[in-house]
Amino acid sequence: TTKIILDTDPGIDDAAAISVALNSSEFEVELISTVAGNVTVDKTTKNALKLVHFFDSNVEVAGGAEQPLLKPFEDAARVHGESGMRGFDFNYEPTEIPVNNAVERLYNVIMANDGPITLVPTGSYTNVALLFKQHPDVKEKIGKIVAMGGSIGMGNMTSAAEFNVFTDPHAAEIVYQSGVPIVMVGLDVTMKALLTQETLDTIKTLGKAGEMLGGLFSHYYEGNEGGIPMHDVNTLAFMLHPEFYKTEDLWIDVVVDGPAIGETVADIRGAYHGGSTNAQVCVDIDADAFNKWFIEEVRNMKA
């Protein structure tokens, strides 16, 4: 099994990633930390707690950054709904909401762990950047970071920038310059690994978890040609099934101002960084294998 920490902003595809992580026997989830992103952090924290409760799990949730490091916060409620998880009624309101303890909990959990831990950010990287700035000694205890975000092609927020990196480009820059091994799971693969209509129809029939995820998916990327993306789930799929993905080692820089703010620039020709690399970048995926795998994950979820 792999020990992971999810740093997340649920968010519908984050909700799907949390559901997979909490149910898979391949993962031990040591902590879920939340960040402002798809919606405000009070909402992303509540949503994480709702999912933990739904699956009757005892994984700890810690509340993280309310704002990006420097850039003003803009949410994505238009995509995920006002609550961040439109489409399913969890019938549960968490009462104790952890606030502003993510950096401390990330630090303590990672340092207390025997082996290396994999950090899986699926929101903006604000918490991770704060962790690295405040506790640089934590870096050597992190085996790697498998992060959803970025793109070496088009953006989905601006023409250049993907949403997670756009939300907090300064944090992303700190993470890419940290020296910790990083896998970039960006739009280059997540916009190819679309769940087809057939997959969506199957998911709805797969018990309580299928009903919950089917509900959330029903308004997510409505009308997108070819199906709906499951961006954040690709981080976990990559860890379990690297054979689904084609990767390239590249140097990634993050643009922190101007019209391309939030763009991840890959030094494909090696001309800028002399062939040095700082990331393993996912560049292609077997979408069919991803669909089949995801269906089986949902089928095995216990709610």
156 binds, among ligand BDR, Ca ion, none (CB under 5 to 8 A by kind): ligand BDR
**Member of 11, 155, 169, 210 binding Ca ion (CB under 5 A):** 11
Closest residue to ligand BDR, based on beta-carbon distance = 163
Per-residue binder mask for ligand BDR (CB under 6 A), 9-48, x = binder: --x-xx-----------------------x----------
Q: Using the rule CB under 5 A, which residue among 4, 6, 12, 14 binds Ca ion?
A: 14
Among positions 88-107, residues that touch ligand BDR (CB under 6 A) are none
Quick one: what does residue 76 bind among Ca ion, ligand BDR, none, with the CB cut-off 5 to 8 Å set by partner type? ligand BDR
Q: Give catalytic status of residue 170 as yes or no.
A: no
Q: Among ligand BDR, Ca ion, none, what binds residue 162 when CB lies within 5 to 8 Å by partner kind?
A: ligand BDR
Q: Does 7 bind ligand BDR (CB under 6 A)?
A: no
Q: How far apart are CA 227 and CA 291, in angstroms?
A: 11
Give me the catalytic one of 53, 80, 231, 273.
231
Q: Which of 55, 125, 132, 163 binds ligand BDR (CB under 6 A)?
A: 163
| Per-residue contact string for residues 103-142; x = within reach of Ca ion by CB under 5 A | -------------------xx-------------------
| Active-site annotation, residues | 231
